[in-house]
Structure 1
Amino acid sequence: MKLYIVILLSSLFHITQQLNQQDRCVCELTNKEKVFPHETLNSVNDEASKCSFKVNPQKSVELEALYFGLDFRLPQLLQDLSTLEKEDDGELYGAVSLQLLHLRDELHELEEYDTLQVEKKRKDNLRLKRDLDECKNRNDFNIQPTRQPDSVCPHAKFVNITGPRFYSTGEAPSNHKYGGWGRDPKPALGKENWYWRVILTASNIYANNINFYSSLSALTVGVKTPDKALIHAANPTTNTIQGPNVVFYCDALYYNCYNSDRVCRFNITSKAISNIQLPKGTRYNSKGNFCHLGKCYIYTDIDLATDESGVWVIYSTVQNFGNLVLSKIEEGDPPMFAQTWYTSVNKQAVTNTFMACGILYATRYVDKEIEEIFYSFDPLTGVEKFNLGIFINKMCPDINFLNYSPVDKMLHIHCDTYMVSYEVLFE
């Protein structure tokens, strides 16, 4: 393959190519023009066309650099020509225009000679990058909500936790390790100081009742109120509790319905049960648990959470590749989903989740003594953070229940039979 280099000399612009000694060629230029100093373009072209050499990979790189330089210089030349057009050029402009047109033809010719496809690949890469950017903008898994929830945090930014402030097994038998406990963020009249607790059976899978305690001290010694609520005499059966991730809100218990990809709502007063169907593809029946490298926590596929704004559900779907999905539950009978958001953190890479002031937080296992709150997702802005670095000093190795209480700004944990609470600190 031969490369033809046309050398154009002008008082307006100058192009130079540096060659190695063995590749050097000398072109003799003769000035025949009396007025314009460009000489005869045809003579120069004939002489320059005789200068040729074989192109190797190194020369192709040099060629690409030359091409970029010319591509950068052309807009400047066009700007200069625009200035010339406005002045009396004595027919100079016509000659320069022909040279520029010829130069453009030569550049297209050089591009065709690029057998190593350097320039073609560069353009393909640019097109590919553009397509990827467009794909990101169209990403169906980052669906924006039709309306944004109002800010519900009267405090400020969540920055740390301290404690533990409370640590007790209460009345739970030592072989009943899984369960949940806490306070109602929107309690019924006269129940403002009550605590609730759900204890799973020895299988650590099922439960069919919820117990209430009139105070923290009553919870500690296991003195229940008469308001014990039985969901169903049989356990397990349709609409009884599956898994430890239960919450209590506005005098109703929310939980994963037994053997189902639904969220159940048990009204304590009426004893009525209603439910919400989760999206198709939701992982349930211990297929999408919270996990760490050492183990997974059985039947933790569907996590319920409460905060200042109400009830949330955190789960994973096949469509979202097992990543966390967050849905807001609208109060009512039956309850409904208000909005849904998709995140990029895999559910089985976290050990638990909770909500505080409308923000989703996720934890991960560090070791037997430390759990880290490492991740947050803000539904208002769609911003995800992966480096929060807020650490929990654990009282037992595995946390199977975790929920925030806006009533007392405490983080309630259930682990290996124990109930533990930590104080949440805001900025």
Structure 2
Amino acid sequence: MAEKLLLEAEEEKKIRTLLNASCDNMLMGIKSLKIVKKTMDTDGSWMKDAASASPKVYFLIGSRNNTVWEFANLRAFMEDSTKLAGRKLILTVSWQGTGQVIYKGFLFFHNQGTSSEIIKYNLQKRTVEDRMLLPGGAGRALAYQHSSTYIDLAVDEHGLWAIHSGPDSHSHLVLTKIEPDTLGVEHSWDTPCRSQDAEASFLLCGVLYVVYNTGGQDLHRITCVYDPLGTINENDLPNLFFPKRPRSHSMIHYNPRDKQLYAWNEGNQIIYKLQTKRKLPVE
């Protein structure tokens, strides 16, 4: 019994050391939305580099592709209707799903045709910088019921993460912290958040927020929140819902630099502004 308690204490210390960034915000509401661009594509993702002050915008169409459009800034992205204003980058490997992220100049994505291989791609050299296999049955089932994504990558104030379903259908989500320089697994958590009825998720200050679509009046709501540190009590959270959209979100990703959500819904590229407050300190 004493040995078990010692191991649990060491594990908790490891987690607190891992999530030691100076970030104490928790989500309190989605304040508003701005439709930045409208396209005809149901699935896709768009983003900025989550760790850079660069204004460049990246546009990835579809759930299986190898082309990235790079725009100088948000204005160029908004005003472009032919993609001629964007720089066309053809990757040497293709992605699947809509869970891509750009972090520290590299594009991270789920390699098409593999169950769990993550690619770290150098956009400047247009070469594969590194690759890894996610453990724990990753990629065997869709991460979210209302999605084409098997492995969803995310970035927050603590760095790079992966979210995927467990090996069984309608199972719970698994959250994995990844070291972006070496592509090593730093830690994994089995969360209580179900894949069933889910459409997307994102991380903010080390906390996982999962968006569900049950087909009711409040179509898109965050009804499962997982905090590895245990500092957030779900009973203290307000009703977290998104403005009504006609279909499920293809992707929702948080950008820790501008504190906004970048989303894709029914061919619309959307920015959601957030309301946050300080969470309780870790004792």
Superposed pair shares fold, TM > 0.5: yes
CA drift at 1:381 = 2.9
Measure, in 1, the Cα distance between the counterparts of 2:234 and 2:100: 26
> Aligned partners of 1:393, 1:377: CA distance in 2, in Å?
22
* Alpha-carbon distance in 2 for matches of 1:156, 1:382: 11
Q: How does 1:13-412 map to 2 (within 5 A)?
A: 146-148=14-16, 149-154=18-23, 156-169=25-38, 172=39, 174=40, 176-187=41-52, 192-200=54-62, 205-222=63-80, 227-232=87-92, 239-260=93-114, 261-273=116-128, 274-284=130-140, 287-291=141-145, 296-298=146-148, 300-318=149-167, 322-332=171-181, 334-367=182-215, 370-381=219-230, 385=234, 388-412=238-262
Cα deviation for residue 193 of structure 1 reads 1.2
Residue identity matched to 1:180:
S
What's the TM-score once normalised by structure 1's chain length? 0.56
- For the Cα contact (< 8 Å) 2:170–2:196, is it kept in 1? no
1:380 and 1:308, CA in 2 relative to 1: closer, same or farther beyond 3 A?
same
Deviations 1:313-354 (A, max 9, x none): 00122279821111111021x422111111122222422110
Amino acid aligned to 1:199: I
From the superposition, tell whether residues 145 and 399 of structure 1 become closer, same or farther in structure 2 (CA, over 3 Å): farther
Stretch of structure 1 that moved more, 373-382 or 247-256? 373-382
- What amino acid is the match of 1:195? V
TM-score normalised per structure 2:
0.83
C-alpha separation in 2, matches of 1:348 and 1:305: 20
SS in 2 for 1:177: coil
**In the alignment, is the contact (CA less than 8 A) between 1:262 and 1:276 conserved in 2?**
yes
* Distance across 1 between alignment mates of 2:58 and 2:125: 18
Kindly indicate whether residue 264 of structure 2 is the aligned counterpart of residue 414 of structure 1.
Answer: yes
Letter in 2 for 1:266: Y
> Alpha-carbon deviation of 1:372?
0.6
Question: What does the per-residue CA deviation read over 1:155-203, in whole Å, with 9 as the maximum and x for residues that have no partner?
Answer: 632211111133421xx4x2x210001211212xxx6211111111xxx
CA contact (8 A) 1:156 1:426 kept: yes
Residue 219 of structure 1: how far off its partner (Å): 0.9
Structure with greater helix share of residues: 1
The code of the aligned residue for 1:152 comes to A
1:402–1:414 Cα contact (<8 Å) kept: yes
Q: Would you say how many aligned residue pairs link Structure 1 and Structure 2?
A: 265
Unaligned stretches of 5+ in structure 1? Answer: 1-136, 233-238
Residue segments in structure 2 that go unaligned for 5+ positions in a row: 278-283
Note if contact 2:143-2:173 (Cα within 8 Å) is conserved in structure 1.
no
Superposed displacement of residue 145, structure 1: 7.5
Q: What is the deviation of 1:394?
A: 3.1
Write the deviation string for residues 194-236 of structure 1: whole angstroms up to 9, x where unpaired.
Answer: 1111111xxxx3110211112212111225666432112xxxx
Instruction: Give, in whole Å, the separation in 1 of the partners of 2:247 and 2:122.
Output: 34
Match of 1:424 in 2: 274
Moved more, 248-257 or 366-375: 366-375
Higher fraction of strand: 2
Counterparts of 1:359 and 1:275, CA distance in 2: 26
Question: Does the aligned pair in 1 maintain the 2:170–2:195 contact within 8 Å?
Answer: no
Q: Rate the CA distance shift 1:336–1:221 in 2: closer, same or farther, 3 A.
A: same
Equivalent-residue separation in structure 2 for 1:420 and 1:226 (angstroms): 19
